[in-house]
Amino acid sequence: MTAATNPTPQTSDDDWWRSAVVYQVYVRSFADANGDGVGDLQGIRQRLPYLRDLGVDALWLTPFYTSPQVDAGYDVADYRDVDPLFGSLPDFDAMITDAHALGLRIIVDLVPNHTSSRHPWFTAALAAGPGSAERERYLFAEGKGESGELPPNDWESIFGGPAWTRVADGQWYLHLFDPAQPDLNWRHPEVRAEFEDVLRFWLDRGVDGFRIDVAHGMIKAEGLPDVGFSSTTTGQRQSELLGKGRLPYFDQDEVHDIYRAWRPILDSYPGGRMAVAEAWAETPQRLARYIGPDELHQAFSFDFLDATWSADSFRKVIDTALAESTIVGAPTTWVLSNHDRQRHVTRYGDGEVGLRRARAAALLMLALPGCAYVYQGEELGLPEVLDLPDELRQDPAFLRTGESRDGCRVPIPWSGELAPYGFGPEGGELSWLPAPATWRALSVAAQTGVPGSTLELYRAALRIRHAHPALAGTTGGVTWLESEPGLLAFRRAAGDAELTCLVNLSGAEVTIDGYGQPIVASADLTEQGAGHVLPVDAAAWFERR
């Protein structure tokens, strides 16, 4: 097998995001430079060459702003500063300067739906009392019942329990997530002005884009109407409707006005500044409304992440996502894992089977047109850590629902024989979540230069993705090829160059012939006659030029 050579990073044009590979850095778990057991901006800075060599185009950094860290930084107390846990503004400036020098772009997370309860606006709202102008920036309301002892409506927090908390003077405030994350009132002009200014603050510091947290949530239906059921009445949690049904607190039409105001701000800066929505909508059609030339550039396609391990399931979500993105003229995004979801090695069956499938899924994702998001550690084939002791779990949702996202947030193993495997400097604190002993063999150092390792598979695929004319820089569609059941086969082409991606989800090995030469594969291919045998749960790229 030969890998394509002469990689050309796609870093120079304004449309870079259309076909970029973006690496999600979960800041507290990526690299710890100061030895306190928590990842930081200096740690990222030191590891930038690793990311350049991996072959990604951009980094998305999860929130590093001043925060009490109730929800791992998604509770922001100061949108214009860095939490001392992660460093300082000068550290950020140094990191972004180095990243740009290496040809890597930086996307930061913006959390506009809610602030921290320690944000000065919320502290002022509590102090000022009912009816005050300060309370208008949030969603305070009187309760129901004889003395207002019941929440204003039946809305549930995504983290479980009621979405309302009562304060000492008797009013209630809305928090769609933790009580420490009060929802802002986006019908208030000061809220809108503030976030436009926050966008400019980070754009002025050179960021290349924003990941918009809960992008579907900022506007709530007028009058705050009941949903009509809740887990206490029916046993079904309202959050089960995410991505499937309508909720009065998500995906309201007016939310699009906010993005129409943001787009000209992004466009007024040079270099192709972009924004990607973390949005949940009832249908792919409604999700597509977040993207386009006058709104955001991208929205995560979680249907791909949710696809089950079957050819039909992948084919359906890929076709739908591509069709929607064609209509709105924006590329789609592909994502297999992130900091909120169980890692895909584990989702696909865990252990050896899960890893085989995860490797095949990587080749599937990286062959598709559009922008791919890689979650830190997936290039190492990391599984979910399922056996973290409860007392170490920190996800606020764990306390309310028993479900925890900590298992996908365990710090990255870099090198060495002992935990935390080079995550921090020698002699530093242990990492904030412990890495299992099995991760010694999965560290970056253990996989570097090892033929067939997951890290080398990602490196090879990313190198080809950048260099191959059929994949590089294009936003064209895919051509599905007729194939036996359970085999996904599609072609990308540019001029005379053709690249075919084959993924074997059939449960039996398949002999393939007539697609050209294999250039990368997630498992060993054996030659058979003029063709090759593609093992179960494996994928390969074949080229013809």
Token pair belonging to 523:
């498992």
Q: 254 an active-site residue?
A: no
- Considering only residues 37 through 96, tell me which ones interact with ligand BGC, judged by CB under 6 A: 71, 74
Q: Considering beta carbons, is residue 318 or 408 the nearer one to ligand BGC? A: 408
3 state DSSP class of 22: strand
Measured from the CB of residue 470, what is the shortest distance to ligand BGC in angstroms?
A: 34
Measured from the CB of residue 415, what is the shortest distance to ligand BGC in angstroms?
A: 28
Cis ω for the linkage preceding 420 (within 30 of 0) = yes
Measured from the CB of residue 384, what is the shortest distance to ligand BGC in angstroms?
A: 16
DSSP per-residue string spanning 342-398:
--HHHHTTSHHHHHHHHHHHHHHHHHSSSEEEEETTGGGTPPP-----GGG---HHH
Q: Considering beta carbons, is residue 15 or 340 the nearer one to ligand BGC? A: 340
Q: Is 406 in the site for ligand BGC (CB under 6 A)?
A: no
Measured from the CB of residue 302, what is the shortest distance to ligand BGC in angstroms?
A: 11
- Considering only residues 259 through 288, tell me which ones interact with ligand BGC, judged by CB under 6 A: 278
* Residues 538 and 521 sit within 8 Å (Cβ to Cβ): yes
Q: 387 an active-site residue?
A: no
Q: Is 335 in the site for ligand BGC (CB under 6 A)?
A: no
For residues 420 and 440, what is the distance between their CA atoms, to the nearest angstrom? 9
Following CA atoms 83, 89, 94, 96 in sequence, which dihedral angle do they give, to the nearest 10 degrees? 80
For residues 430 and 342, what is the distance between their CA atoms, to the nearest angstrom? 23
Measured from the CB of residue 47, what is the shortest distance to ligand BGC in angstroms?
A: 22
- Considering only residues 169 through 188, tell me which ones interact with ligand BGC, judged by CB under 6 A: 177
Q: Considering beta carbons, is residue 115 or 506 the nearer one to ligand BGC? A: 115
Q: Considering beta carbons, is residue 17 or 177 the nearer one to ligand BGC? A: 177
Q: Count of residues binding ligand BGC (CB under 6 A)?
A: 9
Beta-strand ranges (E) seen in 245-324 are: 274-277, 298-299
Active-site choice (32, 71, 208, 278): 278
Q: Considering beta carbons, is residue 71 or 537 the nearer one to ligand BGC? A: 71
Q: Is 340 in the site for ligand BGC (CB under 6 A)?
A: yes
- Tell me phi and psi for residue 124, to 5 degrees: -65, -35
The set of residues, in sequence order, having a beta carbon less than 8 Å from that of 352 and lying 6+ positions away, is none
Token pair belonging to 462:
């990313």
- Tell me phi and psi for residue 532, to 5 degrees: -140, 155
Residue 191, H or E segment: helix 189-204
Q: Which of 22, 180, 212, 214 binds ligand BGC (CB under 6 A)?
A: 214
* Residues 544 and 517 sit within 8 Å (Cβ to Cβ): yes
For residues 384 and 344, what is the distance between their CA atoms, to the nearest angstrom? 8
Token pair belonging to 197:
């200014």
Beta-strand pair 105-110/209-212: parallel
Q: Considering beta carbons, is residue 305 or 460 the nearer one to ligand BGC? A: 305
For residues 102 and 206, what is the distance between their CA atoms, to the nearest angstrom? 14
3 state DSSP class of 55: coil
Q: Considering beta carbons, is residue 210 or 541 the nearer one to ligand BGC? A: 210
* Residues 69 and 85 sit within 8 Å (Cβ to Cβ): yes
- Considering only residues 86 through 145, tell me which ones interact with ligand BGC, judged by CB under 6 A: 111
Q: Which residue is nearest to ligand BGC (CB)?
A: 74
3 state DSSP class of 453: coil
Nearest to 515 by CA among 501, 496, 526, 525: 501
Q: Which of 154, 208, 213, 324 binds ligand BGC (CB under 6 A)?
A: 213
* Residues 125 and 80 sit within 8 Å (Cβ to Cβ): no
Q: Considering beta carbons, is residue 47 or 216 the nearer one to ligand BGC? A: 216
Active-site choice (213, 251, 295, 379): 213
For residues 423 and 35, what is the distance between their CA atoms, to the nearest angstrom? 9
* Residues 181 and 70 sit within 8 Å (Cβ to Cβ): yes
Measured from the CB of residue 18, what is the shortest distance to ligand BGC in angstroms?
A: 23
Q: Considering beta carbons, is residue 403 or 524 the nearer one to ligand BGC? A: 403
For residues 54 and 448, what is the distance between their CA atoms, to the nearest angstrom? 10
Enumerate the H helices of 289-330 as residue ranges. Answer: 302-306, 311-328
The residues annotated as belonging to the active site are 213, 278
Which residues are near ligand BGC by CB under 6 A? 71, 74, 111, 177, 213-214, 278, 339-340
